[in-house]
Amino acid sequence: MALQGNLRDMGVADLIQQTCQDRKSAFLTIRHDNSVASLYFKEGQVVHAKMGLQSGEEIVYRILAWEDGSFSLENDIEPPMTSIQRSWSGLLMEGARRLDEGRAQPAAGETPLLETKQSEVKYMASQLQEVLKGLGNEVNGYMASAVIGLDGISIAHDMHSSKADVDSIGAQTALLIKLVDTSAAKLQAGSLEDTLLTTENALVLIRFLESKRYFLTVVVDKRSASLGNLRLMSRIYADRVSKAIPR
Amino acid sequence: MAKIDQLLQEIRTELGGDFVATDIVGSDGISIAGTSANPGYDGSAASARFAMVMKLSSKVSDKLALGSVQENMATTADMIVLARYLGNGSYFWVIAVPKDATLGSVRMVMNEYADQLWNAIPH
């Protein structure tokens, strides 16, 4: 049976991320205004996209900008062909970059912002990296940290453990903080600040940054971690990270 | 089940002002026992929502190879909600406390009562 829904409840990036994370082969149809796009997934990758007579990864970038419309996802459908080679995380990252650039397009008569924006992004990334390195020096049992957008894509990270995979950390912790945030809202418990996952081997603290458009994830080794140190340092460094992200 | 209710009342008394609500919840999201100091707190909704949170937490931990999940603690503007697996993980214990509660004491009480609650659940 097909999973159906509205893009306002689950965005295109979330749909792609969820389907790929679950390593599904599936067929996704998205309707927006008078347009209909089709995406085919094979074993957790987007392999084909089609809209009208066009096909390929450009379609994915176009539909990532759709904020309203409906979707239908059917599992176990084989793609008729392959028109996309790029990984799903690469598609989402490139899509996010293009969306950002689109928002930065100047109005007629204004100075182009693209070059300025690119240098700002590089500067921001190096600033964030420095802040995360500082955090790594202060937290006991530190393994990894990342600044992640609500789309699950990391904008900066610092890994001390070779086992840590930033794409997985970004995608998984985005799903978790969104669910805990919705739960807190439903329970009228006030705005969510952070959520701390304690597992057999690690503590994972996920803390919203000021605007709630990004969050900070810190992973520490449970054996050498101190809960108080982790909570305090993540609070202090979340403020520093927020200040390093341009408004 | 009377034993669980008695333990939950003891926990409520021990925490005093640092208490909002508590529930023992099955993996299906249904509470089998609970008590609340706040009439506005919806224990059924909290149980159902945190069952989803605990399931996703396990999936996340699995994907990141961090071992089995023990606890999830959410801090909001008004309260802290702790959800901890009991025994073999077929039930979990949710406890909500005010944001300014002494978290160290709350966790100590949880450590003290977790096994007792698990043993009091009819199997």
In this predicted model, what pLDDT tens digit does every residue of A165-221 receive, in sequence order? 888 899 999 999 999 999 998 888 899 999 999 999 999 999 999 888 999 999 999
Is residue A145 within 8 Å of A134, Cβ to Cβ? no
**Cβ within 8 Å, pair B74-A195:** yes
| The predicted structure's pLDDT at residue B79 | 94
Residue B24 to residue B103: CA distance in whole angstroms: 20
Question: How would DSSP label each residue in B32-43?
Answer: EEEEES-TT--H
* B74 interfaces chain A, CB cutoff of 8 Å: yes
**CB burial string A195-222: b at 16+ within 10 A, e below:** bbbbbebbbbbbbbbeeeebbbbbbbeb
Backbone angles phi, psi at A127, to 5 degrees: -65, -45
| Structure token pair of residue A78 | 């084989």
**pLDDT tens string A104-125:** 555 554 445 455 555 666 677 7
**pLDDT tens string A7-66:** 887 889 888 988 888 888 999 999 998 889 999 999 989 999 998 888 899 999 999 989
Nearest-CA distance B67 → chain A (Å): 5
Angle at B93 between CA B90 and CA A207, to 5 degrees: 110
Backbone angles phi, psi at B33, to 5 degrees: -165, 150
Residue of B nearest to A183 (CA): B49
pTM, two decimals, is 0.69
Nearest to A168 among B49, B63, B70 (CB): B63
**Cβ within 8 Å, pair B74-A190:** no
| Structure token pair of residue A187 | 């329970």
Backbone angles phi, psi at A75, to 5 degrees: -85, 160
Nearest CA to A177 out of A157, A202, A151 is that of A151
**Cβ within 8 Å, pair A187-B45:** yes
Domains detected in chain B: 2-120 (3.30.450.30)
| Structure token pair of residue A11 | 């965005």
Nearest to A173 among B60, B76, B99 (CB): B60
| The predicted structure's pLDDT at residue A111 | 47
Q: Give the pLDDT means over successive 10-residue stretches in chain B (123 positions).
A: 93 94 95 91 90 94 93 96 96 96 95 97 89
Backbone angles phi, psi at B43, to 5 degrees: -60, -35
Interface of A with B in 124-183 (CB under 8 A): 163, 165, 168-169, 172-173, 175-176, 179-180, 182-183
**Torsion over CA: B57, A201, A17, B89 (sign):** negative
* Residue A89 banded pLDDT, cuts 50, 70, 90: confident
* Angstrom distances, CA of residue A11 to CA of A17, A199, B81, B113: 10, 29, 28, 42
- Stated as kind and residue range, the H or E segment containing B14 is helix B2-15
- Stated as kind and residue range, the H or E segment containing B81 is strand B79-86
Nearest CA to A214 out of A158, A156, A142 is that of A156
* A195 interfaces chain B, CB cutoff of 8 Å: yes
| Contact residues, chain A, for B31 at CB < 8 Å | none
| Contact residues, chain A, for B41 at CB < 8 Å | 187
What residues form DSSP beta bridges with A72?
A: A4, A29
Residue of B nearest to A231 (CA): B75
What residues form DSSP beta bridges with B85?
A: B92
Residue A144 to residue A219: CA distance in whole angstroms: 5
| The predicted structure's pLDDT at residue A100 | 77
**Cβ within 8 Å, pair A201-B66:** yes
**Cβ within 8 Å, pair A199-B73:** no
Contacts 24+ apart (CB under 8 A), B108-114: B109/B11, B109/B14, B109/B15, B110/B82, B110/B84, B113/B7, B113/B10, B113/B11, B114/B84, B114/B86
Is residue A137 within 8 Å of A235, Cβ to Cβ? no
Q: Which region, left, alpha or beta, applies to residue A218 given φ > 0 means left and ψ of -120 to 50 means alpha?
A: beta
| The predicted structure's pLDDT at residue A103 | 62
Nearest to B56 among A176, A196, A204 (CB): A176
Is residue A150 within 8 Å of A160, Cβ to Cβ? no
